[in-house]
Structure 1
Amino acid sequence: MSNLAKLFTPIKVGAYTLSHRVVLAPMTRLRTIQPGDIPSPMMADFYGQRASQGGLEIIEGVSISIPARSYLGAASFYHDGQVEGWKAIADAVHAKGGRVFMQLIHGGRQSHIDMTGGVAPVAPSVVPFDGVALTKDGWVPVSPHRALEIEEIPGIVEEFRVAAQRALDAGFDGVELHGANGYLVDQFIQDGTNKRTDAYGGPIENRVRFLKEAVEALISVWGADRVGVRISPSGEWGGISDSDPEATISYVAQFLDQYGLAYLHVIEPRIKGDSTLHEGHPPVAVKFLRPHFSGPIIAAGGFDRESAIHIVEAGDADLVAFGRHFTSNPDLPYRLKHNVPLTPYVRDAFWGGNEKGYTDFPAIEPATAGLAATA
């Protein structure tokens, strides 16, 4: 039991003390009400079902504006008609004693004019790639993007700040900046997508400028101890690349360490989106980043019970975020603690749909689970 104990011991994460270290990872599930990206009652059910006393949930990438959107049905928070739906989600998590952070995202070049209000998607630079966006016509190739003018950048930073304020007003406990998976922040960081020659391009010190300004905008609303950042070292989603990923990502971790953030959330490169790229590949990113970041680290991507216990025990990560297993096991922390068999996930229900494969997975009654664990 000693190994298991650490995964289920309390830990201070920024402003909060959590009672265990099993985190719900942000997953784009495409369940908002259209038009208007209104958070749906079934989303409140989904997050409420997966809440636990002293547990942390990170809410799926929430777009900060219409041009920031990438997928029809995905979450966003940029108009007043969305407020009540988001309040219901925060309330559902809090009703079970959980904590909830909202992940904020700008899709950058990963979009289509049907999603951006008819304007070309934006990016640090024009670097064509083979990506897809989800529109009313299904999955379609992304639209050609354009490079941001330097005078436009403060406006996007302000959109991050406004969205952070909306999350605060809606009753959330914090926000996470999505700096991973080839979306706009990541596009600025990595030199495969950032070919700028101004203050936001060239050396890594310049390429992190957008990250810096976005993080400081969130901190201005929340304070650093209620802000996290997600990164994806050597990730492949979104056609992203860097000429020296180790140097780039270690610089990013060291840079973020100065703020005293709530946590650094790291996606292992063995995962691409909702799929495992490299079966049996051990986690490498968090171990590499541990010396560069002194705060709590959340590891994500391809973990099971045994590997989650191991990585926390080893000290390479402090918490582990689960996505796929959490979709089909609303009581995942309980099941992991008691070694109860997991319900298989339903991949066909990941990207959009109704309650089926979303909120219809039963939790195990604690009495039954206890018997199963003993047996």
Structure 2
Amino acid sequence: MENPFRPSFGAVPVALAGRSFALDSFEHALEDHPGSEQRSTLISGARGTGKTVLLTEMEMIAQDQGWEVLRLHTAAPSLAGELRELVLERLREVDPEASDLRISGGGIASIGSVRTERVDRYAGEMTTATALARLAELAGGSGGGLLLSVDEVQSVDLDELAGVTQLYQDLVRTGRPVAFVGAGIRSGIEALLGKDKATFLRRAHRVELGTVDLGTAAETIRLTVAGTAKRIGPEAAVLAGEISCGYPYLIQYVGAQAFENSADAEEIALEDVARTRGSAIRQMHMNVHGPALRGIAPGKLAYLEAMLEDDGPSSTAEIGRRLGRDHGYQSVYRRRLIEEDLIEPAGRGYVRFSLPYLRDSLLLRRQEHPGPDSPPDVTVRRTRSRSQEARRR
């Protein structure tokens, strides 16, 4: 039986948890509300909170309403260059005036000797701004518009992205039916808004993604399983929601693992779900926390490790004492860690880890990167190839 869960970053799940309001608002804005701030939307959140999924859903909503969608990719050598290529390619496909017949030669005496050739209207030096305006005009003529989207904003050259948003702003000013959706981690979004050319987007609608409540997580897992020949009981669904911590990526991962653990059984049992916790921690460590901690500054890492002594929220004053630093020094790292969605305020003078299983991941990291005073690992095992060679002798 095919597993209905999709625990891959960016993969659109069968059931989307807790994002209905953002999608409904965007759909409403595209229908007939050109002045709506939701036509310019910025999605931010930590990795695994569903930014790409939400952006993809918004693109699909736009396409269903007859909008042209141009997604720009962070891997492109030039964002502006990619935008130009995309819009010209699309114009050649949809513009009835994309090419013209032109007389290229022939004799005067005989009409039959006249030669013509088809000329590409968009092979010349048309500016990107003019091409965008033309595509938006054509899309608007059929009741739609033009949507520009950019994922992983933090990985884009911000000067180039600011230039793209300037083109978008010009289209808005001239009344063209256009929309823009950008997605990225919070620090990347804030860096974009700090650019002079992107000040227009400071008025954009902000969608901050995080975890969903545990009830929504459990219901998402239940609904996903309900579309298959299997079933999951209320207690098992609730436990799955609790293990996922309401984190969108883990909702899919825990659901997928529980589904696999149930093998050929008709029902996903409580023990099938309980067995997913250990692998969920390891998965978060490998795919979310590990990469984030790999290049982290020593001061920020020391702050996080100082929090490990607490089972719950940590006192910022106590963290400063453990670090042997004054309030001003440690507050710098606290602010940066909050900006990077690794910790969050937990009441006046307290902070806590903001992502599921980050504490467990830091403990695993200690095992992987022992300190200089740790005893060496002296276990030795003969490799299989050497053992085979010895047997042959």
Q: Which of the five TM-score ranges fits, normalised by the shorter chain?
A: under 0.3
**Of the two, which has the highest radius of gyration?**
2
TM-score of the pair, normalised by structure 1: 0.28
TM-score of the pair, normalised by structure 2: 0.27
